């Protein structure tokens, strides 16, 4: 667990733990919440096989959609909509209700809570009309999850307990398993680790008896996170690795990268920073392959925490801002709150107190609007630390007491411990030993509850209970298997000969396909080498043209002509740089445009910068990859606008700032801008009527990208292109 050297450092280090507890659980919730594209597993493959031969398809489509919720949520939504249409054609109200419920689960996974609530209402209406106890329990479970996501833990716990009683009454073991796991998670969030693990182990026994591999993986992952918070890192890593093994075996590849994140978190707690970063990067790579922006945002927050610990604030800020932008795109209000708070904490560490204060206050307002009262407590705690730093101790006490009141009302065990410790230290600075001692006693009592000598004994007993119950479950399953063994052997003899023939055909087909694969792989490798060589030669030819233009310019006396030749040389260089980057990297069709802009801006600054005046140029473009057909015209546009700013935006010996930015504004749309704080353009300026070759070229290239160009005069000039 974390130690503290002084008041401020203590606050920030322990706040890491609050932050981790706050956002770790959210993506996991959505997978347990709604139990049951490119790749499926044995279950989805079997369902597809049956589906092709079936006439009533609504039930099978719903079953397939429920399975895909664990693999590829957008495919699950597509299947659910097909199920909805099929159910209406078949006049099957039960499956129509199930389809609405599956769509609601997908909407929840994407952060569209209001839409999910509407879909759940439609599902509940039909289930109520049909008097389907199971359907109504499924809907109520999802409603409880919505309460959980919005920080309404007590309401969620009440609904989960009600669902557990209903599942016992109706003998629905799958819903009972989900309720047990969800109750465990709320206990974990409130710092009741032993209680949480007991609920998890009860849920795991049920999942084993149902042979539900997905639930087994999720519950082991949750147990691993609980063990981590208790400081039992070996047990934590073992459970997380077991969950990853299950997900990989069942091909639940959308959930596998979450295990990399949580394993990285264990390394983070053990101060193994390099191993933590390696795990996070592995998770990030898989999330991007899966197109999982929610998981990507979560990993950005993890990476930000790691770089913050490594005292690399610029990198930490970059990842927290990227996470905040993704949360905004996803309309993930909780993720937005966490990312903004982490961003504010780094800004506070840098001493920019007013900027941090604005962000914390904004978060408090938005947490109230989102119903996330827990996050309001965290931001009040941070404001308390800010006022301690400003030596405004009465204000600090006020905010810390407000945070403590919320923590008490929500029964937030861990946060209560941290807040009381900070209150004790703050009262001590105010020379109020009586209040300092009172809060220290509360802190010590809570701390001793976590770190007791009995803790290891309790954990060992829980682990033994888990292993014993797991073994009992396996024995019960073995007895059942013995009853069907005789029938199985008889069937095996009948199928044996048929399988032998099929096996021979499969082997022959496999050999043919393997030979074809090897030939194709060899051809692809040769093609890749050829493409790299082509890019290399194009780059060399363009550089040769640039050199010839440079030599030619030495013999030109007319300065206007000489400048025109230099501008042409710059355009050739901007294209050559793209081909150079393409043959130097693994991907031959895509280019990291942020890296390109950095290199282009540095090149132009070296050619046009003036010793008598300093012009600083910043580039904002992270994780944007463009194909060559887009990169070349956009690179030429960037070259023209940056050169234009250096040449005309500022007077000689004048200091100025230049900003180049490329941002994503939709799934397939971007905004590119070049902004300066110089003298500005004439009021009657219109780019479509300009006579200069450079700006005419910008307008033509923008049309090639099917984009629109606008020029904004506001304390300087900004050219903005949306394409």
Three-class HEC string of 122-188: HHHHHHHHHCCHHHHHHHHHHHHHHHHHCCCHHHHHHHHHHHHHHHHHHCCHHHHHHHHHHHHHHHH
Q: Are 698 and 719 in contact (CB under 8 A)?
A: yes
Strand 656-664 to strand 615-620: parallel, antiparallel, or no bridges (unpaired)?
Answer: parallel
**Domains of the chain by range and CATH?**
589-722 (3.30.565.10)
> Does pLDDT of 84 surpass 60?
yes
Place of tokens 């069709």: 589
Mean pLDDT, the chain, integer: 76
**For residue 649, what is the DSSP state?**
S
- Residue pair 103/126 in contact by the 8 Å Cβ criterion: no
Q: Determine the Cα–Cα distance for residues 349 and 244; give it in Å rounded to an integer.
A: 36
Dump pLDDT digits (tens) for 460-471.
444 444 454 444
Q: Summarize the chain as % helix, strand, coil (round to 5).
A: 75, 5, 15
User: Can you state the angle between helices 213-230 and 233-249, rounded to 10 degrees?
Assistant: 160
Q: What are the tens digits of pLDDT across the range 374-390?
A: 788 889 999 999 999 99
Residue of higher predicted confidence among 68 and 44: 68
Residue with tokens 């398993």: 177
Mean pLDDT of 431-437: 90
Residue 590 near residue 625 (C-beta atoms within 8 A):
yes
> Across residues 507-513, what is the average pLDDT?
67
- By mean pLDDT, which of 214-218, 323-327, 455-459 is the weakest? 455-459
Cα–Cα distance list, 713 to 28, 209, 421, 677, 679 (Å): 47, 69, 52, 10, 9
Report the percent of the chain where pLDDT is more than 90: 13
271/534: higher pLDDT = 271
User: Which carries the bigger pLDDT value, residue 527 or residue 689?
Assistant: 689
583 in Cβ contact with 637 (< 8 Å) = no
Per-residue burial over 463-487, b if 16 or more Cβ lie within 10 Å, else e, is beebeebeeebeeeeeeeeeeeeee
- Between CA 705 and CA 723 the distance in angstroms is 6
pLDDT of residue 344: 92
Distance between CA 281 and CA 652 in Å, rounded? 46
pLDDT of residue 320: 92
pLDDT given at position 75: 77
Where does the pLDDT of residue 325 fall: very low under 50, low under 70, confident under 90, or very high at 90 and above? very high
Residue 29 is predicted with a pLDDT of: 43
CB 180 within 8 A of CB 157: no
Comparing 379-388, 537-546, 664-673, the range with the smallest average pLDDT is 537-546
Out of 192-196, 391-395, 602-606, pick the least confident. Answer: 602-606
pLDDT winner (highest mean) among 194-203, 457-466, 612-621? 194-203
Between 202 and 465, the more confident residue is: 202
Confidence bin at 415 (pLDDT 50/70/90): confident
pLDDT higher than threshold 50 for residue 395: yes
State pLDDT tens for residues 277-302: 898 999 999 888 877 787 898 899 98
The confidence score (pLDDT) of residue 25 equals: 44
pTM here? 0.52
Closest CA to 546 of 512, 515, 580, 520: 580
* Contact present, 72 and 254 (Cβ < 8 Å): yes
Q: Packing angle between helix 213-230 and helix 7-33, nearest 10 degrees?
A: 170
Lowest mean pLDDT among 554-563, 651-660, 684-693: 554-563
Instruction: List alpha helices for 252-292, DSSP H.
Output: 256-269, 273-290
3-class state of residue 658 by DSSP: strand
């Amino acid at each position: 667990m974390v130690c503290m050297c002084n008041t401020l450092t203590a606050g920030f280090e322990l706040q890491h733990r609050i932050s981790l507890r706050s956002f770790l659980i959210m993506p996991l919730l959505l997978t347990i919440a709604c139990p049951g594209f490119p790749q499926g597993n044995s279950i989805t493959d079997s369902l597809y096989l049956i589906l092709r031969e079936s006439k009533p398809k609504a039930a099978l489509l719903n079953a397939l959609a429920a399975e895909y919720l664990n693999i590829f949520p957008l495919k699950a939504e597509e299947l659910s909509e097909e199920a909805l249409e099929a159910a209406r054609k078949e006049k099957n109200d039960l499956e129509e209700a199930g389809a609405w419920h599956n769509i609601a689960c997908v909407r929840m996974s994407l952060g569209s809570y209001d839409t999910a609530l509407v879909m759940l209402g439609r599902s509940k209406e039909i289930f109520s009309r049909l008097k389907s106890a199971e359907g109504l329990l499924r809907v109520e479970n999802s409603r409880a999850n919505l309460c959980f996501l919005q920080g309404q833990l007590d309401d969620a716990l009440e609904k989960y307990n009600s669902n557990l009683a209903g599942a016992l009454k109706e003998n629905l073991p799958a819903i009972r398993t989900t309720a047990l796991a969800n109750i465990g998670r709320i206990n974990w969030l409130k710092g009741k680790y032993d209680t949480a693990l007991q609920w998890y182990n009860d849920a795991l026994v049920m999942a084993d008896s149902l042979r539900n591999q997905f639930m087994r993986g999720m519950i082991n992952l949750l147990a691993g996170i609980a063990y981590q918070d208790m400081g039992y890192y070996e047990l934590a890593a073992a459970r997380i690795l077991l969950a990853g093994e299950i997900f990989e075996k069942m091909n639940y590849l959308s959930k596998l990268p979450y295990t990399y994140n949580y394993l990285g978190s264990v390394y983070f707690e053990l101060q193994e920073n390099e191993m933590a970063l390696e795990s996070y990067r592995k998770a990030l790579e898989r999330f991007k392959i899966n197109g999982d922006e929610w998981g990507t945002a979560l990993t950005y927050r993890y990476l930000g925490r790691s770089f913050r610990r490594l005292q690399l604030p610029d990198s930490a800020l970059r990842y927290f801002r990227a996470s905040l932008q993704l949360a905004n795109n996803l309309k993930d209000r909780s993720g937005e709150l966490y990312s903004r708070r982490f961003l504010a904490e780094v800004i506070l560490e840098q001493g920019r107190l007013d900027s941090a204060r604005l962000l914390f206050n904004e978060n408090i307002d938005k947490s109230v609007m989102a119903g996330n009262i827990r996050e309001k407590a965290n931001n009040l705690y941070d404001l308390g630390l800010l006022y301690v730093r400003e030596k405004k101790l009465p204000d600090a006490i006020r905010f810390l007491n407000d945070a403590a009141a919320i923590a008490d009302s929500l029964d937030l065990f861990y946060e209560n411990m941290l807040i009381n410790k900070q209150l004790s230290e703050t009262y001590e600075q105010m020379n109020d030993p009586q209040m300092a001692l009172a809060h220290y006693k509360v802190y010590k009592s809570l701390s001793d509850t976590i770190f007791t000598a009995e803790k290891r004994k309790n954990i060992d007993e829980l682990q033994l209970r888990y292993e014993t119950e797991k073994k009992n479950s396996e024995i019960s399953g073995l007895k059942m298997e013995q009853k069907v063994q005789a029938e199985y052997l008889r069937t095996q003899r009948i199928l044996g000969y048929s399988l032998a023939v099929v096996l021979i055909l499969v082997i022959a087909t496999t050999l043919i396909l393997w030979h074809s694969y090897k030939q194709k792989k060899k051809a692809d490798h040769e093609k890749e080498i050829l493409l790299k060589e082509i890019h290399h030669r194009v780059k060399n030819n363009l550089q040769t043209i640039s050199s010839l233009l440079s030599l030619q310019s030495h013999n030109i006396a007319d300065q206007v002509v000489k400048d025109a030749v230099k501008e042409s040389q710059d355009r050739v260089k901007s294209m050559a740089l793209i081909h150079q980057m393409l043959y130097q990297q693994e991907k031959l069709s895509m280019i990291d445009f942020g890296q390109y802009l950095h290199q282009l801006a540095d090149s132009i600054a070296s050619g046009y910068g003036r010793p008598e005046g300093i012009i600083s140029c910043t580039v904002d473009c992270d994780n944007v990859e463009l194909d060559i057909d887009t990169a070349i015209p956009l690179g030429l546009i960037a070259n023209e606008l940056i050169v234009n700013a250096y040449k005309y935006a500022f007077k000689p010996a004048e200091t100025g700032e230049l900003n180049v930015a490329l941002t994503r504004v939709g799934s397939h749309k971007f905004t590119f801008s070049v902004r300066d704080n110089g003298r500005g353009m004439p009021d009657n300026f219109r780019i479509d009527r300009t006579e200069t070759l450079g700006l005419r070229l910008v307008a033509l290239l923008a049309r090639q990208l099917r984009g629109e160009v606008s020029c904004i005069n506001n304390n300087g000039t900004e050219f903005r292109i949306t394409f």
